[in-house]
Structure 1
Amino acid sequence: MRRIGRRDIVAAALIAVLAGAAFTSPPLAILRGLSLDVLTALRGKLVGDIRDPAASPVVVLAIDQESYETPPFKDSPTITWTRELARVLNAVMDGGARVIGFDVIFKSSIEQSEIPFGDAPLGTRMKGFDRDYLRVLRQGADAGKLVLGDIQNDNPERPFPGQLLAARPQNIRALNVHTDPDHVIRRMPLAFAIGGKPVPLMALELASRGLGATAEFLPDGATRLAGYTIPSAEPNTLTLNFRGAGRDIPVFSFADLHGCVEKGDGEFFRRAFGGKVVIIGSVLNFDDRKLTSMRLGGGHDGTPAPRCARKALAQSVRAARSDVAGVFVHATAVRNLMEGDAVSELGFPWRSIIAILVAGMIAFAACLLAPTGTVIAWLAVTAVYSACAVALFVRAIALPLTEPALAGLAAGALMIGYRFVIADREERFLRKSFAFYLAPQVIDTMVASGKMPALGGEMRNVTVFFSDVAGFSSIAEKMTPTELVALMNDYLSEMTDIIESHGGYVDKYVGDSIVAVFGAPVDDPDHASHAVRAALQCRDRLDELNRSHPAFQGRGLAHRIGLNSGEAVVGNIGSRRRFNYTVMSDTVNVASRLEGANKYYGTSIMASEMTVAQTGATIAWRELDTVRVQGRDEPIRIYEPLAEGYQETREQGLAAANYDKGLACWRAREFTQAAECFGRDASYDPPSRLFAKRASELAAKPPPADWTPVNTLEGK
């Protein structure tokens, strides 16, 4: 492995930037679509991720090959199917379908036929033929259960005027799709602007009616449906998520449903279509086939649904193929919208950054390794990155895949070329060390973002942990400096490990004291509970050390811990040349005062009422007193944690109950009864002993009328 110099680093960085930027540039936008295709194929092969078709909120009513081969439709043009279609539609609506959308367009009617038939055109003799069909359209439209489709472009396709009139304009929606330059459908448009107002397209309209919600078009260009903000990598589009490779959509054959109507099985329609969004579309091998992001792994024309009247054809289960019937593009979009499961793609800046980072790793590997090693490194990075990308794609988050892989390959090749073209010189390595004392989490953030830390802070709700060794000066006097340093290193190491294992950040050591913060720099909604658990474990661990550790035995080491929760300023604070990630506020001051107050009450851990309020039932507490600490006028209630949850011992529970009764009597100026309650446990419980003495004194000499049960703590 060779050493690299400054020029190598600069060259690797430039190559990484150029390669990453080139493969994510607009001229190579086709790679972005290819990433979706590869991710869809890998997810299907490695994970499967097929959702239950029975749970699908959308189903397809297919005009399929079986329909064309079944009487009375066999050898009949589709314009003659309208009466039977009306019967099926009526049964579907009676079965409880939420809405029916048409992915088929009947552009003409037999009533408009100009074919000669005797002494008059055929259309004249067929007047009224579509009456039943138009009546069903009107009934469905009036109930908000029917949406007809059209195509809006330079050569628009629309249903014949009678249908448009029956369905009313508000129930006509566009079936347009978004086709990428490589003729693949990966996204669906959401709305068209008509008269300056956005009008939903078919998929969004069906999902809106299926959910009983109205699509919201936000000022920033985003679209929200039933609380779900639709991710849009391209403005006004939805990136399709083909989780089940088309197999998560149930398909009902029109021929079978027609037979079911003839059979009079209304219960089947209620089971099949109750509460569903239904899309009518053509499912044939030769008509309306679409390439989608399933093209590499293969897609399916849905999953055959349960049948009612006819036996399934042998070819009803089809093999996967590169294209799918267009109706499944709309059905997938509707399911994505109703389940909040559309794919979230990264924007251009993040795609470029990821490509540059991957290219950078390979470029730096090429600086250090031989060409064979570089190829192995590229394969390893690509495999690991691909696994991460597939794992995220299972959660509908699409990372760029082909762009980083190709950028890394190009960067490795260019770096190998650089090394061959420019002769290797004497290697130099310059290391610059900065004296920034930061939390590991802050350093990780800095490295990930590429930004150096800077002065500044923010307000955050945190819990401050303040501890101090009791009688440290007297202990230090009896030890040599070497022994003292070894003892404190062991003590601070053990306590720090516990604090950090509970998510705390050690701000500083001040001699034998530890100042730590929970809830920063990493957010932690349970910071108060974690701080208390850390304090309890620190107490127990010190007891173990005193019993078993040779350096601690016979010294009776004890510590006091103060805990307080509240708003504090956290961030990089100090001079412009040297600073530290720390915490500042009155919250820190109170924690420090509570640590010192343990000496007065004979406790080892004390917390404020603010900390108790944020722990809920996760900790068993007993209230100690109401105090006023130095530097703060407002009194606060202080508590001692007994154990986690409900794990306190029976003795602790009884002592806490007696203490609570005594404290209530104390605050009610019933000092004799208070002394009696506190006295029950005074022999072994220091707080009870303290209050028993105070209560006895006040019982003998009652305080003035303006006395309040608040203890003012002087000093630390």
Structure 2
Amino acid sequence: MRRIGRRDIVAAIVIALITGAAFTSPPLQALQGLSLDILTALRWTLVGDSRDPATSPVVVVAIDGETYDTPPFKGSPTQTWTREVGRVLGSITEGGAKVIGYDVIFKNSIEQSDIPFGDAPVGARLKGFDRDYLIALRKLSDSGKLVLGEVLSNDHPESPFPAQRLAVKNNVRALNVYTDPDDVIRRMPLSFSIAGQQVPAMAVELASRALGAKPETGASGATNLSGYAIPSAVPNTMTLNFRGMGRDIPAYSFADLRACVEKGDMDFFRRAFDGKVVLLGSILTFDDRKLTSMRLARDYDGTRGSRCALPTPANAEPMARSGIAGVFVHATVVRNLIEHDAVTELGFAQRSLLAIIFAAIMACAACMLAPGGALIAWLALSAAYTAIAVGAFVHAFALPLTEPVLAGLTAIAMMIGYRFVIADREERFLRKSFAFYLAPEVIDSMVTSGKMPALGGEMRDITMFFSDLAGFSSIAEKMTPGELVALMNDYLSAMTDIIESHGGYVDKYIGDSIVAIFGAPADDPDHARHAVAAALQCRDRLEELNDSHPAFRERGLAHRIGLNSGEAVVGNIGSRRRFNYTVMSDTVNLASRLEGANKYYGSVIMASEATVNQSRSAYTWRELDLVKVQGRDEPIRVYEPLAEKNKETQEQGMRAATYASGLASWRARDFAKAAELFESAAGDDPPCRHFARRARVLAGNPPPIDWTPVNTLEGK
């Protein structure tokens, strides 16, 4: 994880401010509406709504396709329906409806028709046709239970026929809606200024009559209805809460209700409309369709109400549509107001602050993590925030969704760009400059701390690895400089790759020699086991190179490897002007001596007893001898690794057993038997040949009585 500096914090703050403010700015206001749409769809998908439509305080009387296909309406103009409309509304009122609102506008009267019919127009022959309807309107209006609708417009206003307006004593309210720039209805106006006065919108008027209270405007400009402070993110509007996705409002077919009037079933009207707010409107598929916040989840034109007189049509099941009938928008407003369930949105400042906080978190994540990790963090935080937002929306509280999430993603992109161009430029320079000189862990420490390495060290338990090519000087004399460099590059690259793959750190190259450390700079509790594994693989790799590589094949290179484990001082060691990450201690010296001791026994790998003890369970070993190396007074046991535990061949196992028996006879001064045992396995085993020669010499010329089985090695 990358360390954050002061400059990074400033950059993250600036990026968060830019992205947070940008995504909540007016040019991107459409994102606020999109958040409502997504929240509406997610709430319905994840939570749903179990409310029974029968509990709805508002119902719809639908002029539907069934109405147009049913006599006496079939084939007749809507102007001729007024008498039947009046009869149905009268029965609904007798059934106990609190108030009835018109979402249909009868702009003309059949009595004014100029269509010729014989020697006179149709209108002249139907004088008095609307009389009963107008009387019904007057009665309903006088009782306060009827409101007609109109559309206010400077260009194309729509208003009820003047006689109807007069009958209801101008008791008419506006049906105008509020659309966002993307033509989606998410909020509805609460009132309109008419002749210098604020007049409630249709839905507000219906709700206020049902509640028996008039809307009031407080000093802050907020509208209050019967103790309910209507939340308003946009002045003089209410954000709609489509909790039931249109399914929570019953819809009764006007044709069935007209047949019910003919049937005289007043009990049905009481069951369906008692205590309800009623809206009369069209739900035809081609008339007055509105896009709302339900558009992403597919909305419905209500739930079909119970039937009274006519059989249920074959196509009675409601269908999901991209748009909802306008009457259900007004019905939703009424239900939200009566149930105090309108959506509360955050103001501009609060939305901006939330987006900035989200972007700041993501900018910091992108500063600390790799791009992939930052994207995973963004997905996780977005999912968690979305769950919180959906939970809040269940309670009609709308947190901004798209703005913070998109601001966070943009902040990640900007922070990655900042890191590439500015912040990580120095890190890339450091890594590139020191990659060939320092351990990766040391470079990581430099980058993390922001400091260059300094003199100093610490005691660590490590395993040292020394290797050297045998007889290389004589081989090098026969090669051109170019051939020598190419050969050494191939050899050192192959060995270094193996060492580093096992967690080792190559301290230095000394000609053809390799000095490596296991257990530092990175901590490695299994450093001895990994060092032995690297040594065995280096031994096998050189054999492969000698067999397959053209530059090695003719020269038959051989190397010696010494391993020793113990405590050592590791760190930056050198002068104040120039130093190196290296290691110092007697542990290092002994490993170097053991590498050289291989030439006495003809072995490839020699390890100290300390290394064997720390890795014994992982490998099969054979003890080579008890030796005293130059610079140390105490003898040490040295070993040769044969193979991984339980993977040694049968020949290796027999050879190790024979060698152990010969070594035991040697130490018991039975040199003749020791010679026989070593000679029996000396065919292709240099250590056995070495001991066989020594045993034969001592068998013919026994040592003094104070002889000890310790081989004192001369030289390094």
Task: Give TM-score scaled by structure 2 length.
Answer: 0.59
1:348 is aligned with what amino acid?
F
Q: Is the 8 A contact 1:346 1:398 kept in 2?
A: yes
CA distance in 2, matches of 1:352, 1:70: 55
Partner of 1:200: 200
The one-letter code matched in structure 2 to 1:150 is E
- 1:100-128, Cα deviation, whole Å (9 max, x unpaired): 00000010010010111122111011011
* 1:196–1:2 distance in 2 versus 1, CA, 3 Å: same
Aligned to 1:116: 116
Aligned 8 A contact 1:50 1:247 in 2: no
Cα-to-partner distance string for 1:201-255 (whole Å, 9 max, x where unaligned): 1010000011111111222211000100000000000100000000000000001
**Could you say which residue in structure 2 is the equivalent of 1:380?**
380
Report deviation, 1:429. 7.6
**1:275 and 1:300 mapped to 2: Cα distance?**
24
**Secondary structure class of the residue paired with 2:315:** helix
Q: Give the aligned partner of residue 440 of structure 2.
A: none
* Alpha-carbon offset, residue 286 of structure 1: 0.8
SS in 2 for 1:247: coil
Structure 1 CA distance for aligned equivalents of residues 423 and 95 of structure 2: 79
Distance 2:386 2:190 in 1: 30
User: For residue 174 of structure 1, what is the aligned residue in structure 2?
Assistant: 174
CA distance in 2, matches of 1:76, 1:353: 59
- Amino acid across the alignment from 1:364: C
Aligned partners of 1:69, 1:338: CA distance in 2, in Å? 35
Structure 1 letter corresponding to 2:105: I
2:321 corresponds to 1:321? yes
1:33 corresponding residue in structure 2: 33
Matched, 1:362 2:362: yes
Q: Contact 2:256/2:310 (CA < 8 Å) preserved in 1?
A: yes
CA distance in 2, matches of 1:427, 1:198: 67
CA shift, 1:427, in A, is: 5.6
Written as runs of structure 1 = structure 2, the 5 A alignment for 1:76-475 is 76-154=76-154, 155-169=156-170, 171-424=171-424, 425=426
Query: For the residues of structure 1 that align with 2:267 and 2:43, how far apart are their CA atoms?
Result: 38
* Distance of aligned partners of 1:383 and 1:268 in 2 relative to their CA distance in 1, 3 Å threshold: same
- Name the amino acid aligned to 1:102: Y
Question: 1:43 corresponds to which letter in structure 2?
Answer: R
3-state SS of the aligned residue for 1:313? coil
CA contact (8 A) 2:303 2:318 kept: no
53 and 45 in structure 1: CA distance in 2 versus 1, 3 angstrom threshold: same
Spell out, residue by residue over 1:256-304, the C-alpha distance to the aligned partner (whole angstroms, 9 max, x if none): 1011001100010011101100000000111100000000011100001
Q: CA RMSD in A?
A: 1.2
3-state SS of paired residue (1:408): helix
- Identity in percent: 67
Letter in 1 for 2:11: A
Match for residue 578 of structure 2? none
**Aligned counterparts of 2:167 and 2:313: Cα–Cα separation in 1:** 35
1:163 is aligned with what amino acid?
Q
* Distance (Å, rounded) in 1 between the aligned partners of 2:220 and 2:358: 32
- Partners of 1:270 and 1:366 lie apart in 2 by 64
TM-superposed deviation, 1:322: 1.4
Give the Cα–Cα distance (whole angstroms) in 2 for the partners of residues 46 and 282 of structure 1. Answer: 31
2:610 matched residue in structure 1: none
Write the distance in 2 (CA, Å) between the matches of 1:206 and 1:332. 12
Structure 1, gaps ≥5 residues long: 431-716
Partner of 2:705: none
Residue 423 (structure 1) shift: 4.3
Report the Cα distance in structure 1 between the residues aligned to 2:183 and 2:287, rounded to whole angstroms.
16
Partner in structure 2 of residue 538 of structure 1: none
1:55 corresponds in structure 2 to 55
User: Helix, strand or coil for the counterpart of 1:106?
Assistant: coil
Spell out, residue by residue over 1:436-480, the C-alpha distance to the aligned partner (whole angstroms, 9 max, x if none): xxxxxxxxxxxxxxxxxxxxxxxxxxxxxxxxxxxxxxxxxxxxx
String of CA shifts for 1:476-506, please: whole Å, max 9, x gaps. Answer: xxxxxxxxxxxxxxxxxxxxxxxxxxxxxxx
Give 1:197 deviation, angstroms.
2.4
Q: Which residue type is aligned with residue 239 of structure 1?
A: T
CA contact (8 A) 1:16 1:359 kept: yes
Contact kept, 8 Å, 2:8 with 2:423, in 1: the verdict is no
Aligned-partner residue type, residue 88 of structure 1:
V
The normalised TM-score by structure 1 is 0.59
Q: Secondary structure at the match of 1:422?
A: helix
Q: Read off the aligned partner of 2:23 and give its amino acid letter.
A: F
Report the alpha carbon displacement of residue 428 of structure 1 after superposing the two structures with TM: 7.5
CA contact 1:50–1:248 (8 Å) conserved in 2: no
Q: Deviations over 1:81-117 (max 9, x none)?
A: 1111111011001111000000000100100101111
Structure 1 pair 50–185 and aligned structure 2 pair: CA distance change class (3 A): farther
Distance across 1 between alignment mates of 2:378 and 2:408: 7
Structure 2 Cα separation of the partners of residues 203 and 408 of structure 1: 39
Q: Deviations over 1:166-222 (max 9, x none)?
A: 0111x2000000011000000000001223321101010000011111111222211
Q: Which runs of 5+ in 2 are unaligned?
A: 427-445, 451-716
> What residue identity is the alignment partner of 1:290?
K
Q: Secondary structure at the match of 1:295?
A: helix
Tell me the distance in 1 between the aligned counterparts of 2:15 and 2:246.
41
Shift of 1:158: 0.2
> Which residue of structure 2 aligns with residue 650 of structure 1?
none
If you compute each CA radius of gyration, which structure gives the higher value, 1 or 2?
2
- 2:76 partner SS: coil
Write the deviation string for residues 16-62 of structure 1: whole angstroms up to 9, x where unpaired.
11000000000000000000000000001000024221100000000
C-alpha distance in 2 between matches for 1:289 and 1:429: 64
Q: Which amino acid aligns with 1:146?
A: L
Distance 1:78 1:429, change over 3 A: farther
Amino acid at match of 1:221: G
Where 1:415 maps in the other structure, the secondary structure is helix
Partner secondary structure for residue 18 of structure 2: helix
